[in-house]
């Protein structure tokens, strides 16, 4: 069965510092992988996705993520965090095709210090 683990419940970084949010997945085949962001009081917005091809994917707002099959990971990174990046971040894995369901991780809440 598919599963997603986000080991960090809460992370605090200083504005301008780099960021890496961890995501590990469990799935037998090549997964579809996603990062979503939820700002306070908002729905979830897609940051980026990986389906195939280049393992380093670029997303919106300056985020990127790298798919590492050997580590079953899809970590999200940003070189310089802005105060507006404070939000909750969710990693998700999908089986694709007919099943087309996403399984979400429990989320990582990012706080940004001035």
Partner 1 sequence: DADVTQTPRNRITKTGKRIMLECSQTKGHDRMYWYRQDPGLGLRLIYYSFDVKDINKGEISDGYSVSRQAQAKFSLSLESAIPNQTALYFCATSDGLAGASGANVLTFGAGSRLTVL
- Pinpoint the alpha helices (H) of 13-112: none
Taking the CA atoms of residue 3, residue 60, residue 13 and residue 103 in that order, the dihedral angle to the nearest 10 degrees is -10
CB of 15 to partner 1, least distance (A): 25
Binding mask 20-59 for partner 1 (x = CB under 8 A): ------------x-x-x----xxxxxx--x-x--------
**Nearest CB to partner 1, comparing residues 34 and 81:** 34
Cα–Cα distance for residue pair 30/106, rounded to 1 Å:
21
Say whether residue 83 binds partner 1 (CB under 8 A). Answer: no
Say whether residue 9 binds partner 1 (CB under 8 A). Answer: yes
Say whether residue 61 binds partner 1 (CB under 8 A). Answer: no
Say whether residue 90 binds partner 1 (CB under 8 A). Answer: yes
How big is the site for partner 1, counted in residues (CB under 8 A)? 26
Give long-range contacts, CB 8 A cutoff, 24+ apart: 46-54: 47/76, 47/89, 48/76, 50/74, 51/96
Of 45, 63, 65, the closest CA to residue 55 belongs to: 65
Residues making contact with partner 1 (CB under 8 A): 6, 9, 32, 34, 36, 41-46, 49, 51, 90, 94, 96-98, 100-107
């Amino acid at each position: 069965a598919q599963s997603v683990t986000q080991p960090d419940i809460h992370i605090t970084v200083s504005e301008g510092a780099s960021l890496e949010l961890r995501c590990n997945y469990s799935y037998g085949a090549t997964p579809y992988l996603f990062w979503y962001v939820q700002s306070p009081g908002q729905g979830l917005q897609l940051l980026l996705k990986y389906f195939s091809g280049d393992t380093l994917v670029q997303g919106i707002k300056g985020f990127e993520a790298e798919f590492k099959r050997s580590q079953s990971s899809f970590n999200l990174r940003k070189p310089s965090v802005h105060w507006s990046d404070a939000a909750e971040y969710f990693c998700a894995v999908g089986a694709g095709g007919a099943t087309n369901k996403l399984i979400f991780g429990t989320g990582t809440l990012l706080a940004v210090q001035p």
